[in-house]
């Protein structure tokens, strides 16, 4: 009995432990998968970074090599310019011309020493008109018996300015010596001046941090390389890089280089090649150090990232993502999205607070919309009822007058005119309300001329009682430039409202009432209409709310929708209405309207001023 009981307890214990083992194996599998992902990403990044670094290093070395070649040519051009100028001055010396007229070679050779010392050049030579070198001097103590014959090769072509002789490289300038002028004088011979290239090679290496070598006939005539590398380079000549100067990889004395070669033989007395090289070793060491750092960082990220990912993904990340989704849904108007109810205590509190805030915002928005709607209805009712009562009172009173049989025909016509004015005012009020309610819904665009719409609006204003006695003028350029794709009726109504507002303001002016409408186009293609009146200006207290509905000041009639409608219509056509300036005697409103298509404008040729009503 005891044994059976013990066996039963042991079986129960094993059963309880089995789910824990399965859970541990699942977590280990997840850790292994995460480790594999991080390791793969790390090593892939390592390979990509190394490849990019090698490409950047190669590009940088290539740029340095090409820059060094350009530096050599720039230095060479500067020194050759100075050398040719100096050589031309020597050739023009009367004493040198007198020396060259001497037929005794020994005399010329002795006299050339003084000119050589005066020039200060590494090479100086004189030759007769038959290219025979009479005198030749260099700074090297050991005589060079082949120098005169090598100098004779310099006269073979005008482009040759490099002299290779006795293991040395010179850049030379050859200038003829004439008795008299070069055009009509007698050729006496040639003066040759030159400097050695060794110093220039060192300058190239010092400025561009590259190694440079001039090779000729299997030997280096000028170089900054060490003797072992120089020997191996001359033993295995490099092919020319061609006109594009493409860098070539080369390995010398166990070290990897990138080299650029340029063939200078066409400009030399002997085969000559410029070789510019830069070592990869320093860059390779830097890349290996970066590899080690990235490998260490990758291993550290592998360990820490796996641990943190396992801990955070289940506890924090998922509930936060659900909460963020709920926030985004509420931002686009979906208030029914479910919020997370699990996660850490902070996430749960945040979710509860957001739900409470969401409900409060919804209630506040509904209350705000309701209050705005009631306020708008109240303002509209107050404004409209006042105007309708004014017009209806005029109709009612004049209708009673018409009932009298004692009225004369002129009096009856005057009463009819008053009734007609009241009816027109009522119609305009109702039309403004209808347009205000339909703004942004029914735009019928077509090709229209703004100049034509402006003239139509002016004709309508001319018949309005508030425009009586107002001097109304239009300033417009070429009407063809005002072509646009827009709703003609809405734009005409907006212009009409602006003109009517200006006329009503101009009636309060001290001087004669004037309104000027100026139509033009801007550089960005928009059409601009400016309406100026000489009224007292817009009151300061309504300037900030000028374009809001039912806002007016100092008017006995009007719904306060004129500027609002004009602003809304302009905004629907890619523009706006703004108050440019307002002071006693000058108020300017500006309406901008987009054309709706791309068009090349012709320049304005003239302005025409049209007085429409007075």
| Residue 303 · residue 39 · CB < 8 Å | no
CA dist list (Å): 44 to 34, 48, 287, 290, 609:
15, 6, 16, 15, 75
* Same domain, yes or no: 250 and 392: no
Q: What is the mean pLDDT of residues 24-39?
A: 63
Q: Is the pTM of this model over 0.95?
A: no
Residue 398 lies in a domain: yes
- The CATH number of the domain holding residue 418 is 1.10.287.130
- The CATH number of the domain holding residue 474 is 3.30.565.10
CA dist list (Å): 52 to 58, 262, 284:
10, 28, 13
* Same domain, yes or no: 215 and 144: yes
Count how many Cα atoms sit within 13 Å of the Cα of residue 234 in the half-sphere of its side chain: 19
* Same domain, yes or no: 388 and 479: no
Q: Write down which residue in 438, 454, 473 finishes a domain.
A: 438
Sign of CA dihedral 510, 511, 512, 515: negative
β-strand pairing of 219-223 with 576-583: unpaired
pLDDT, tens digit (0-9, with 9 covering 90-100), for 258-314: 888 888 888 888 888 888 888 777 777 777 787 788 788 778 877 777 777 677 666
Please name which of 485, 482, 518 lies closest in space to residue 499, comparing C-alpha atoms.
518
Residue 102 lies in a domain: yes
CA dist list (Å): 307 to 21, 43, 348:
19, 19, 24
pLDDT, tens digit (0-9, with 9 covering 90-100), for 521-549: 887 778 999 999 998 888 887 877 777 76
* Same domain, yes or no: 277 and 388: no
- Kindly tell me the burial class for residue 501, based on how many C-beta atoms sit within 10 Å of its own C-beta (0-12, 13-18, 19 or more): buried
Please name which of 529, 526, 391, 511 lies closest in space to residue 458, comparing C-alpha atoms.
529
Domain holding 478, by residue range, is 444-613
Please name which of 518, 538, 536, 535 lies closest in space to residue 527, comparing C-alpha atoms.
518
CA dist list (Å): 329 to 116, 325, 337:
91, 6, 7
DSSP 220-235: EEEE-S-HHHHHHHHH
Q: What is the pLDDT of residue 532?
A: 93
Q: What are phi and psi of 214, to 5 degrees?
A: -105, 120
How many structural domains does the chain have? 3
CA dist list (Å): 352 to 338, 359, 363:
11, 11, 17
- The CATH number of the domain holding residue 245 is 3.30.450
Three-state DSSP at 148 gives: helix
* Same domain, yes or no: 517 and 599: yes
Beta-carbon contacts of 221 under 8 Å, excluding residues fewer than 6 positions away, are 164, 167, 168, 169, 197, 214, 215, 272
Which residue matches tokens 């339909």?
Answer: 438
Sign of CA dihedral 374, 376, 380, 382: positive
- For 202, other C-beta atoms within 10 Å of its C-beta total 13
Distance, in Å, from the CA atom of 532 to the CA atom of 513, rounded to the nearest integer, reads 11
* Same domain, yes or no: 431 and 349: yes
Please name which of 93, 126, 95, 122 lies closest in space to residue 109, comparing C-alpha atoms.
126
* Same domain, yes or no: 550 and 403: no
Between 22-26, 333-337, 443-447, the lowest mean confidence (pLDDT) is in 22-26
* Same domain, yes or no: 400 and 539: no
| Residue 607 · residue 476 · CB < 8 Å | yes
Q: What is the pLDDT of residue 12?
A: 37
* The pLDDT of residue 3 is above 70: no
Please name which of 520, 525, 579 lies closest in space to residue 547, comparing C-alpha atoms.
579
Beta-carbon contacts of 335 under 8 Å, excluding residues fewer than 6 positions away, are 329, 358, 362
Distance, in Å, from the CA atom of 29 to the CA atom of 107, rounded to the nearest integer, reads 101
Q: What is the pLDDT of residue 573?
A: 87
585: left (phi over 0), alpha (psi -120 to 50) or beta: left
pLDDT, tens digit (0-9, with 9 covering 90-100), for 101-113: 888 888 888 888 8
* Same domain, yes or no: 433 and 454: no
* Same domain, yes or no: 367 and 241: no
Q: What is the pLDDT of residue 614?
A: 34
Beta-carbon contacts of 69 under 8 Å, excluding residues fewer than 6 positions away, are 245, 260, 262, 274, 276
Residue 45 lies in a domain: no
Q: What are phi and psi of 487, to 5 degrees?
A: -85, 105
| Residue 507 · residue 469 · CB < 8 Å | yes
Radius of gyration (Cα) for the chain, nearest Å? 49
* The pLDDT of residue 473 is above 60: yes
Residue-averaged pLDDT of the chain: 76
Residue 255 lies in a domain: yes
Count how many Cα atoms sit within 13 Å of the Cα of residue 306 in the half-sphere of its side chain: 20
Q: What is the pLDDT of residue 184?
A: 83
Three-state DSSP at 557 gives: coil
Residue 194 pairs in a beta bridge with: 123, 172
pLDDT, tens digit (0-9, with 9 covering 90-100), for 91-138: 888 888 888 888 888 888 888 888 888 888 888 999 988 888 888 888
* Same domain, yes or no: 252 and 375: no
**And the tokens for 80?**
């050759």
Q: What is the mean pLDDT of residues 327-348?
A: 75
Q: Write down which residue in 399, 415, 438 finishes a domain.
A: 438
CA angle 295, 297, 300 (to 5 degrees): 110
Distance, in Å, from the CA atom of 121 to the CA atom of 98, rounded to the nearest integer, reads 21
Distance, in Å, from the CA atom of 352 to the CA atom of 31, rounded to the nearest integer, reads 33
Q: Write down which residue in 281, 309, 335 finishes a domain.
A: 281
| Residue 569 · residue 488 · CB < 8 Å | no
Residue 46 lies in a domain: no
Distance, in Å, from the CA atom of 472 to the CA atom of 507, rounded to the nearest integer, reads 12
Q: Which residues of 591-609 are buried (b: 16+ CB within 10 A; e: fewer)?
A: bbbbbeeeeeeeeeeeeee
CA dist list (Å): 135 to 99, 125, 148, 149, 254:
12, 5, 8, 12, 47
First to last CA, the chain: 126
* The pLDDT of residue 601 is above 50: no
Beta-carbon contacts of 253 under 8 Å, excluding residues fewer than 6 positions away, are 226, 228, 229, 232
Q: How confident is the model at residue 181 (pLDDT cuts 50, 70, 90)?
A: confident
Residue 507 lies in a domain: yes
Residue 25 lies in a domain: no
Q: What is the pLDDT of residue 611?
A: 36
Residue 229 lies in a domain: yes
* Same domain, yes or no: 102 and 230: yes
CA dist list (Å): 195 to 170, 171, 306, 493:
5, 6, 69, 87
């Amino acid at each position: 009995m005891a044994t059976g009981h013990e066996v039963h307890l042991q079986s129960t214990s094993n059963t309880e432990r089995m789910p824990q083992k399965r859970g541990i194996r699942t977590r280990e599998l997840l850790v292994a998968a995460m480790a594999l992902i991080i390791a793969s990403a790390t090593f892939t990044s390592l390979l990509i970074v190394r490849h990019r670094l090698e490409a950047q290093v190669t590009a940088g070395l290539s740029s340095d090599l090409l820059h060094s070649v350009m530096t050599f040519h720039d230095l060479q051009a500067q020194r050759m310019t100075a050398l040719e100028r100096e050589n031309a001055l020597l050739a023009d010396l009367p004493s040198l011309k007198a020396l060259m007229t001497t037929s005794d070679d020994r005399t010329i050779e002795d006299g050339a020493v003084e000119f050589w010392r005066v020039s200060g050049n590494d090479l100086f030579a004189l030759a007769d008109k038959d290219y025979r070198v009479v005198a030749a001097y260099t700074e090297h103590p050991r005589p060079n018996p082949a120098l005169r014959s090598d100098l004779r090769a310099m006269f073979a072509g005008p482009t040759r300015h490099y002299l290779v002789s006795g293991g040395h490289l010179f850049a030379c300038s050859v200038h003829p010596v004439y008795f008299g002028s070069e055009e009509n004088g007698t050729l006496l011979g040639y003066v040759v001046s030159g400097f050695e290239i060794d110093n220039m090679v060192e300058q190239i290496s010092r400025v561009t941090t590259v190694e440079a070598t001039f090779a000729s006939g299997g030997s280096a005539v000028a170089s900054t390389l060490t003797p072992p590398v120089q020997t191996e380079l001359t033993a295995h000549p490099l092919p020319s890089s061609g006109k594009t100067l493409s860098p070539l990889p080369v390995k010398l004395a166990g070290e990897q280089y990138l080299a650029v070669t340029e063939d200078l033989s066409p400009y030399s007395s002997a085969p000559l090649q410029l070789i510019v090289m830069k070592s990869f070793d320093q860059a390779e060491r830097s890349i290996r150090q970066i590899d080690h750092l990235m490998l260490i960082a990758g291993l550290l990220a592998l360990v820490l990232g796996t641990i943190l990912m396992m801990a955070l993904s289940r506890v924090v990340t998922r509930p936060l993502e659900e909460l963020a989704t709920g926030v985004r849904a509420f931002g686009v108007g979906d208030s029914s999205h479910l919020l997370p109810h699990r996660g850490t205590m902070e996430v749960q509190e945040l979710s509860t607070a957001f739900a409470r805030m969401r409900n409060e915002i919804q209630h506040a928005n509904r209350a705000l919309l309701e209050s705005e709607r009631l306020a708008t209805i109240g303002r509209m009712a107050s404004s409209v009822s006042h105007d309708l009562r004014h017009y209806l009172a005029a109709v009612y009173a004049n209708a009673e007058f018409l009932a009298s049989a004692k009225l004369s025909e002129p009096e009856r016509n005057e009463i009819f005119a008053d009734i007609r004015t009241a009816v027109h005012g009522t119609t305009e009020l109702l039309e403004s309300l209808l347009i205000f309610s339909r703004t942004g819904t029914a735009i019928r665009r077509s090709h229209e001329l703004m100049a034509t719409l402006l003239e139509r609006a002016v004709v309508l204003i001319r018949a309005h009682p508030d425009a009586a006695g107002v001097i109304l003028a239009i300033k417009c350029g070429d009407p063809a430039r005002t072509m646009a794709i827009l709703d003609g009726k809405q734009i005409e109504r907006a212009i009409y409202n602006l003109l009517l507002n200006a006329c009503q303001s101009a009636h309060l002016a001290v001087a004669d009432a004037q309104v000027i409408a100026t139509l033009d186009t801007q550089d960005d293609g928009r059409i601009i209409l400016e309406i100026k009146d000489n009224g007292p200006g817009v009151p300061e207290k309504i300037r900030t709310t000028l374009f809001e509905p039912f806002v007016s000041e100092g008017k006995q009639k009007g719904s306060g929708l004129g500027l609002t409608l004009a602003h809304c219509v302009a905004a629907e056509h890619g523009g706006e209405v703004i108050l440019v300036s307002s002071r006693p005697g000058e108020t300017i409103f500006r309406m901008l309207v987009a054309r709706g298509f791309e068009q090349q404008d012709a320049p304005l040729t003239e302005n025409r001023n049209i007085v429409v009503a007075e």
